[in-house]
Structure 1
Amino acid sequence: MGNRLRVRLLFLLTGLLIGLSGQLHAQTTYSITGLVTDAKNGEPVPFASVALVGKRVGTITDEKGRYTLRTNVLSDSLVVSSMGYANTRRAIDKERITQAIDVQLPMSAGTALQEVVVRAGENPAFRVLRQVRKNRSLNDRNRLKAYEYDSYQKTEIALSHLTDRMRQSMLFRKINQAMSQVDSIVDKEGNRLLPLLVSESVTHTYFRTGPQRRREDVRKTRIRGVAVDDAGLSSQLLGGTSLISQNFYDNYIPILGKDFASPIGENWRNWYEFFLADTTQLGDHICYEIQFDPKRPEDLAFTGKAWIDTTTFALCEIEAHIGSRANLNYVRELTIEQELEPTVDSSGSAGWLPVGLKMSADLTGVGKQSLGMRAQVTLRNSNIVVNKPKPILFYEQPIEPNDTVATTNEAYWGTVQRTLAGPDSLNKTDQKARMMIEKLREVPAVRTAEAIGQIAVTGFLKVGGFDLGPYPYLFAVNTVEGLRTRIGFRTNEEFSRHLVFRGYLAYGTLDKEFKYGGEADYLISRQHWTQLGVRMSYDLERLGLTPELIGGNRLFYALSRFGRYRGAYQSMQKEVFFVTEPVKGVLLRATVGSRTFDPLFPYEYRLNPELGDQSPVRSSIDDAYWSIEARLARKEKYIMDGNERITLGTKRAPVLTIRYTRGMTGLGSDFNYNRLTVRAQQTLRLGPLGRMTYLLSAGYTPSALPAPLLFPHIGNPTPLLTTNTFNRMQFYEFVSDRFVAMHMQHKFEGFLFNRLPGIRKLNWRLVANADMLWGTMSEKNQNVESSKPMPNGMRPIRFGHLDPSIPYVELGYGIDNIFKIFRVQAVHRLTYLEPGPNNIPTNRFVIKAAASISF
């Protein structure tokens, strides 16, 4: 999940203005002509390369050294290069539509190239690439003990590919009325753009190897956008530099949750075709230019060029493109450009660090005629310091953006543009985009679209200091409550930056009962995420499907309230808790609470199990307890969204949770007991084989308890596929007092289907899963369950238990990314095929479906 919040922001902006359209105006075409000559003798230089700096627009001179370059967009300068000459730049006057620029090329310094031995029948680029891998230990930035630098980042987002149908919508017409006739921005392909966001940020990044640690301090942000502001979540999402800091020396480059094979990675020969084009001079370096293309266009691989230094075989510059044929959703094109320079410390050791980076993406929805989005991030690094590591605790310290991050300071930005940003700072087009955004935000229809987009993405509607929602819980229909209606709220940072209230009220038309919940938290410290809270609720729950047990899966919890409500019980729960993070990645929680269990299904348990059927029985349970929990996520990243902390996931590290619970009659509980639970989850990157996610959990209680206080395992008999549940197990079919469960899911991406003719064009992806459970219930806990008929003549439910020598096993396989949204998966139940103790039939095989949006 490392960039999910950035992706979420892009989809939010798209969803907010899904019908927006810009106006059509006459397209401006700029023309630059000139003559390129030898600076020493004045002779024309034929076939020299003439290009706009920072743009993929260029041409070559003819045999007489003359050139004509026509373009729809200008940069601040053009660069002219030719073999044997030094690269030469000339400034461009952006105010002139036509202009003439003659260039005199001086001879290069004549750096001698290393000898390249070409073997018979071998691609000459292979020898260069072998040397790149051989010299990786000298050139890769990871050889440095530590480095730090200042970064300037500019982010631009705009809508593009607006269809005629979109332009005729009511929302567009209102926007067009508000925009002046000169409001028009055109990209280099001639597409009209409607800007949504322009931001600048300055950060200071610290990195250390052995152990690997990273810290980013967001110093300043300046944001103008629709549905975003300068403070809070936006400044953190747009202020960080990790989105475009890919290291191409790694074998695979993570982009949008996928792993792309690097053209200079260890497996370069398996993924790419190469062509050694020429040698050229980049700054002070003479470089080999190597062009690369994927062997299969559908593979997660790049098309582009790499420039390799001829003396050190270090990567000097790379331009890598992802085309529309790659098995990547919602991306028409994506380009990554990096410029790298060597660094030297006092000992003379060097490693190459990126100094200029750019990522541009052309995103789209479902269908060729869908609305598009153009996003571009530009980064400039400077003031680099190497091999001066900070103490470990310096990197572990949680970072809270300073309150002055988003305050206006034009003098500060003027200094940044002169000393740090340089030619990458805001240009006239960016300034024009900022003015257009201000006009957009004044349109009432746009403000309404912002609110709708916020609801769709976050689930809440912001009204001053309150957020109303979440909307998935608004309605439900089930056999116990009938039509259930729920309204809820939470306070945000406008209400208070320390005190947070949450609450809801629900009512069922069939049971005619009100349910409610409330919580009050006091945020003591954001720096160490320390809070004290109290909560209380009275509601209808389903055995084994409490929010705690399903791990916060909000959608699954909401859907579980529909249909036949088996295993229903009423519960009153009260808790006081304290949470703190003394060290980054170590979250501690202490809780004292009580809860009741009042079943609405036939259930009784024995108060004196040793008496057998002569024992008095009871159906309700009063539980009181205290617990301590430690959550270890050493490489987890997170950001603050007002008073909420949102995790961005961990990088190649598991998340481990350990909890001990002690039930005590002294607190009002019916039972004294001990319970220990452990949970670990992680996503593993397996290169060309895709990604594997596992969830491993275990629990143990040595105490004699009724089944609801043990471990009911989470079944899912619904038609919807849900990960981390047992999709062929019935609700509360099995209960254990000790267990180990494993959920594994593997996404092969396009590993297999990209190689099958006819199928590879569909961009389908193979998925597989294995869900296993080892558990048992001790004889003393089995004796707690009553089988004697109840006074109303009904037999009480008896919960099934597992044979410790036979695991419960489910295996599944299916196709993901059908129409970029749907997943269909077959699930086989391989064990425990006979009807359970309540004569509930089992189904060995089922096909389930799910829908999700992912790249």
Structure 2
Amino acid sequence: MQILKKGFFFLSVLTFSLLSLNAIGQSTKVRGKVVDSKTKQALPFVNIAYKGTTIGTTTDFDGNYFLETRTPGDSIYISFVGYKERIFAVQKGKFQTLNVELEAETFDLQEVVVVPGENPAHVLLRKIIKNKKKNNPSRFKSFQAETYTKMEMDLNNIKEDFKDKKIMRQFQFVFDYMDTSVITGKPYLPIFITESLSDYYYQDKRRVEREIIKASQMSGIQDNASLAQFTGQLHQNVNVYDNFIDLFDMGFVSPIADGGLRYYKYYLTDSAYRDGNWCYHMSFKPKRKQEPTFVGDFWVADTTFAIQNMQMRIAKDVNLNWVKDLVSNNEFQKLNDSTWFLKKQNLFVDFMLTERDSTKQMGFFGRKTVSYKNVEVNVPLKEEIIKLDNNVIVNEDALSHPPEYWNDARPYQLSERESGIYAMVDSIQNVPLYKNIVDVVTTFITGYYVHGKFEYGPYYKLYSFNEIEGNRFMFGGRTSNEFSTKIMLNGHLAYGTKDEKLKYGLGFLYMINKLPRETFGMQYKHDIHQLGKSPNAFTEGNILASLLKRNPNNKLTMLNQFETHYEKEWFQGFSNTLKFRYRDIKPTEFVPFEDRIGNPISRITTSELELRTRWTKNEKVVMGEFERVHLGGPIPIVNLYLTMGMKNVLGSNYDYQKIDLSVEHTFELPPLGNLYFLASGGKLFGKVPYPLLHLHEGNETYAFDPYAFNMMNYYEFASEQYASLFVEHHFNGLILNRIPLFRKLKWRTVVSGKGLIGKLSDKNNGSLANTEAYMRFPDGLSDVSKPYFEASVGIENIFKFIRIDAMWRLTHLDDNPYQDFEDFGIRAMLQITF
């Protein structure tokens, strides 16, 4: 699941729709370095601007600069106090490198007396912080605006020898679209572009956010409203006025954070009129290495002390995976004498898959630009906007606008290369080699191999082994989107060489509506099943469960199960799922079913009706045609399950009711990392055999399972009433970054703790000698009236995707002679984190 959450979105962006090439607006790009002509030392804070315009920048602390614009002058003017001014001609619409040596000027100056005093940059910073509340865009009770969003992905650092490789012979036409990044100087090839035009609405009361996407187009995708909803503004926000800016699950300290002086050094470098406002220019850099900070500069308006423009670049040594570079540029517009609002926001990310020399290895650029116009603040939202049942609405005609519409709607024209991407990506998809590469990557991540109207898999279940079935072979699959985007059929066949029995399953999922989600489905299976496993555990038949077992894998039962469901999402974040479930559970020699005097019981038959209610708010979700991945949001996720066992329905022998409640959330606590918690509890009303009690989630593999008790065995504890708590804190390098060796390794510390307490009444406690219970407990199963605790300390980010935990079982160490457990163990898991 961790891998799916981080990788799912990037699989969605590799195809397109044709667009004519009639927009021309080529960017002029200039980058370079400014040094002293004699000492060759880098010169920071040098002013660089297009002559006759206000378009400009300053060199950073290493003397480097970059400047990109679609409306340049014909020459660049360079000036710095104490040095001779210089002017250079530039070529419009092209990339160029311009390294400059400045010659010092000699002046006869009068004596200057320097007295101690406060850094003027600190004085200005305090005024900015004092006025943050009235300048922060999120202060408005409501606002609405028209937004234009453009996203692009590029393959970078492409070398000449790569073009000449045999594998690339079928792709030579794409190299006509090569360009060069002004930020990094790397050559790149655009491979994906998407644009959207939206009406965006925000209201602080009840935290209402709505986005109506009026137009959207994506290279490679002609008609996909599900993906179109992720091309707008709502799912990404960089607010420089926040103390901490969340980027890739890491809280970066804002340059104007309340505690900014603890993290940054500030320099007041210039002052000038900009767009009719007297502004001050400040540069900043981190005080310490590897902290989540930026380097950059900003212009701030006098009197209001509102930010006019801020450029931030992540510090070079930040402990962040896969990201080599990141630049965010935020430009603000003045709505009236005292009100400023965002005008344009650019985000540039250089993704690198390895730690090797970034000048030699290929990677990816990700770029996003959001422009705002027709901004209205503190205007109450219309009731029809508030009542929309989804945060993001895609208009019916959003994907069908002609090129002429886009030429008028864009705030600027696309360059020839940008426009050509739409046609170029379509051509790529027709190359057989490209299709083969996509098939291999998709199969590896999803587990299924797609061929026409069918998906074969999952491949990790083709072979496994356990003590009951011996060698298990399985073949399965499901219908693909080519078969239908309304209904998905699935099924599997499995056979064990030891028990010589055939197992199978068959079902379907019908998509009634996608937004908001409404589904109906049925599923039947005759197969082995592990009672008491967590929802994150390896599924039955997974080869990893066989390879990583720490106890004999023999606590499986035979299950016949029919299940049908109806799911209704009333509005985004609130849904109900109604299920009917019939189960026929049969014992094995390892998991016997016996009554209280020892007579064997051949089966347990139940019929259940279950109502699930799920609630959260402003959650981010990535959706395919049928499946979706929940990425969490600012509000805890609440799940409530109400279950009713119905006696005499399809042969059911038991009448009972259950209620289960869980609350989970991740708190971002920069700079201390993030804290995840999962609290759950439940109660059963009625008398039932032990397989229908809450069998607490054990884990008998060496893989770390975040939703299980990793030092607990299966069939160790059961409850009819219970409460549990799981807390895990990720320090994101806060501790190990201060140790030189670990700083280079970029390892991160994580600690966790889990607790559980439960209760059994005499009528359900099959471990008592004189019991009223239906069934005798198997050896080793008991109640958990004495609390159970386990804790762990781990290292994550080993080779970027491995986590290893040292775990301790803290209670129930001597009171169960039938369970072969460990009081200390090592567990590992694979995860993709930034």
2:131 to 132, 135, 143: 135
**Structure 2 counterparts to residues 729-768 of structure 1, below 5 A:** 729-768=712-751
Checking the alignment, whether the CA contact within 8 Å between 1:232 and 1:640 is kept in structure 2 is no
1:798 to 771, 779, 782: 779
> What SS is found at the alignment partner of 2:741?
coil
**Structure 2 counterparts to residues 296-375 of structure 1, below 5 A:** 296-343=288-335, 351-369=339-357, 370-375=361-366
Tell me the equivalent position of 1:677: 660
**CA offset digits 1:286-337 (Å, max 9, x no partner):** 2221111111230111111122111101111110101431010111100000
Tell me the equivalent position of 1:125: 121
Compared with structure 1, are the counterparts of its residues 803 and 441 closer, same or farther at alpha carbon in structure 2 (3 Å cutoff)?
closer
Task: Tell me the percent identity.
Answer: 27
Task: Report deviation, 1:830.
Answer: 0.8
Tell me the equivalent position of 2:648: 666
2:535 to 543, 546, 550: 550
Report the number of matched residues.
770
Distance in 1, matches of 2:66 and 2:518, equals 56
Tell me the equivalent position of 1:590: 578
Q: TM-score, normalised by structure 2?
A: 0.84
Task: Report deviation, 1:259.
Answer: 0.9
> What SS is found at the alignment partner of 1:665?
coil
**CA offset digits 1:215-235 (Å, max 9, x no partner):** 12222222225xx66524442
Task: Report deviation, 1:273.
Answer: 1.3
2:9 paired with 1:9 = yes
**CA offset digits 1:47-102 (Å, max 9, x no partner):** 86325999988789xxxxxxxx9999874414769899xxxx999863689999xx
Q: Which moved more, 1:47-56 or 1:256-265?
A: 47-56
Q: Which moved more, 1:382-391 or 1:553-562?
A: 553-562
> What SS is found at the alignment partner of 1:265?
coil
Q: Which moved more, 1:812-821 or 1:777-786?
A: 777-786
Checking the alignment, whether the CA contact within 8 Å between 2:688 and 2:764 is kept in structure 1 is yes
**CA offset digits 1:748-796 (Å, max 9, x no partner):** 01211222233322211111000111112222212478999xxxxxx98
Tell me the equivalent position of 2:620: 637
**CA offset digits 1:775-824 (Å, max 9, x no partner):** 12222212478999xxxxxx9823432442x3111111121112222222
Compared with structure 1, are the counterparts of its residues 650 and 29 closer, same or farther at alpha carbon in structure 2 (3 Å cutoff)?
closer
Q: Which moved more, 1:825-834 or 1:122-131?
A: 122-131
Checking the alignment, whether the CA contact within 8 Å between 1:606 and 1:784 is kept in structure 2 is no
> What SS is found at the alignment partner of 2:763?
helix
Tell me the equivalent position of 1:202: 197
Distance in 2, matches of 1:590 and 1:596, equals 20
Distance in 1, matches of 2:815 and 2:50, equals 74
Checking the alignment, whether the CA contact within 8 Å between 2:529 and 2:540 is kept in structure 1 is no
Distance in 1, matches of 2:96 and 2:575, equals 63
Distance in 1, matches of 2:5 and 2:54, equals 28
* C-alpha RMSD of the superposition: 3.8
> What SS is found at the alignment partner of 2:740?
coil
**Structure 2 counterparts to residues 665-744 of structure 1, below 5 A:** 665-667=647-649, 668-744=651-727
Distance in 1, matches of 2:522 and 2:541, equals 25
Compared with structure 1, are the counterparts of its residues 511 and 72 closer, same or farther at alpha carbon in structure 2 (3 Å cutoff)?
farther
Task: Report deviation, 1:382.
Answer: 0.9
Checking the alignment, whether the CA contact within 8 Å between 2:476 and 2:491 is kept in structure 1 is yes
Task: Report deviation, 1:671.
Answer: 1.1
Distance in 2, matches of 1:151 and 1:556, equals 49
Distance in 2, matches of 1:555 and 1:383, equals 56
2:194 paired with 1:217 = no
**CA offset digits 1:235-260 (Å, max 9, x no partner):** 233x1214552111111101111111
Compared with structure 1, are the counterparts of its residues 77 and 91 closer, same or farther at alpha carbon in structure 2 (3 Å cutoff)?
farther
1:832 to 809, 812, 822: 812
> What SS is found at the alignment partner of 2:407?
helix
**Structure 2 counterparts to residues 86-97 of structure 1, below 5 A:** 94=92
Give unpaired runs (5+ residues) of structure 2. 16-26, 32-45, 82-86, 99-113
2:559 paired with 1:560 = no
Q: Which moved more, 1:326-335 or 1:189-198?
A: 189-198
> What SS is found at the alignment partner of 1:273?
strand
Task: Report deviation, 1:277.
Answer: 1.3
User: In the alignment, residue 800 of structure 1 is paired with which amino acid?
Assistant: L
Distance in 1, matches of 2:536 and 2:94, equals 61
Checking the alignment, whether the CA contact within 8 Å between 1:525 and 1:531 is kept in structure 2 is yes
User: In the alignment, residue 722 of structure 1 is paired with which amino acid?
Assistant: D
Distance in 1, matches of 2:417 and 2:324, equals 23
Distance in 1, matches of 2:29 and 2:726, equals 59
1:470 to 441, 449, 458: 458
Compared with structure 1, are the counterparts of its residues 146 and 558 closer, same or farther at alpha carbon in structure 2 (3 Å cutoff)?
farther
2:371 paired with 1:380 = yes
> What SS is found at the alignment partner of 1:451?
helix
Task: Report deviation, 1:184.
Answer: 3.2
Compared with structure 1, are the counterparts of its residues 580 and 728 closer, same or farther at alpha carbon in structure 2 (3 Å cutoff)?
same
**CA offset digits 1:600-634 (Å, max 9, x no partner):** 24444555x5xxx3x74415211111122211112
Compared with structure 1, are the counterparts of its residues 268 and 601 closer, same or farther at alpha carbon in structure 2 (3 Å cutoff)?
farther
Distance in 2, matches of 1:4 and 1:843, equals 31
2:197 paired with 1:186 = no
Compared with structure 1, are the counterparts of its residues 514 and 803 closer, same or farther at alpha carbon in structure 2 (3 Å cutoff)?
closer
> What SS is found at the alignment partner of 1:289?
strand
Tell me the equivalent position of 2:256: 264
Checking the alignment, whether the CA contact within 8 Å between 1:704 and 1:784 is kept in structure 2 is no
Checking the alignment, whether the CA contact within 8 Å between 2:6 and 2:832 is kept in structure 1 is no
Q: Which moved more, 1:122-131 or 1:457-466?
A: 457-466
Distance in 1, matches of 2:80 and 2:316, equals 34
Checking the alignment, whether the CA contact within 8 Å between 1:736 and 1:775 is kept in structure 2 is yes
Checking the alignment, whether the CA contact within 8 Å between 1:538 and 1:573 is kept in structure 2 is yes
Compared with structure 1, are the counterparts of its residues 593 and 602 closer, same or farther at alpha carbon in structure 2 (3 Å cutoff)?
same
2:822 paired with 1:843 = yes
> What SS is found at the alignment partner of 1:197?
strand
Distance in 1, matches of 2:95 and 2:277, equals 34
2:518 to 530, 538, 542: 530
Checking the alignment, whether the CA contact within 8 Å between 1:786 and 1:796 is kept in structure 2 is no
Distance in 2, matches of 1:232 and 1:323, equals 37
Task: Report deviation, 1:268.
Answer: 0.9
Tell me the equivalent position of 1:416: 409
> What SS is found at the alignment partner of 1:158?
strand
> What SS is found at the alignment partner of 1:358?
strand
Distance in 2, matches of 1:98 and 1:814, equals 48
User: In the alignment, residue 406 of structure 1 is paired with which amino acid?
Assistant: L
Checking the alignment, whether the CA contact within 8 Å between 1:663 and 1:674 is kept in structure 2 is yes
Task: Report deviation, 1:399.
Answer: 4.1
Distance in 2, matches of 1:701 and 1:724, equals 21
Compared with structure 1, are the counterparts of its residues 55 and 461 closer, same or farther at alpha carbon in structure 2 (3 Å cutoff)?
farther
Tell me the equivalent position of 1:36: none
Task: Report deviation, 1:395.
Answer: 5.2
Compared with structure 1, are the counterparts of its residues 787 and 485 closer, same or farther at alpha carbon in structure 2 (3 Å cutoff)?
farther
Give unpaired runs (5+ residues) of structure 1. 17-27, 33-46, 61-68, 101-117, 789-794
User: In the alignment, residue 596 of structure 1 is paired with which amino acid?
Assistant: D
> What SS is found at the alignment partner of 1:560?
helix
Tell me the equivalent position of 1:104: none
Compared with structure 1, are the counterparts of its residues 841 and 551 closer, same or farther at alpha carbon in structure 2 (3 Å cutoff)?
closer
**CA offset digits 1:641-672 (Å, max 9, x no partner):** 22334433222x11111111111212121211
Compared with structure 1, are the counterparts of its residues 190 and 131 closer, same or farther at alpha carbon in structure 2 (3 Å cutoff)?
closer
Checking the alignment, whether the CA contact within 8 Å between 1:640 and 1:646 is kept in structure 2 is yes
Tell me the equivalent position of 2:156: 160
Tell me the equivalent position of 2:40: none
Compared with structure 1, are the counterparts of its residues 121 and 556 closer, same or farther at alpha carbon in structure 2 (3 Å cutoff)?
farther
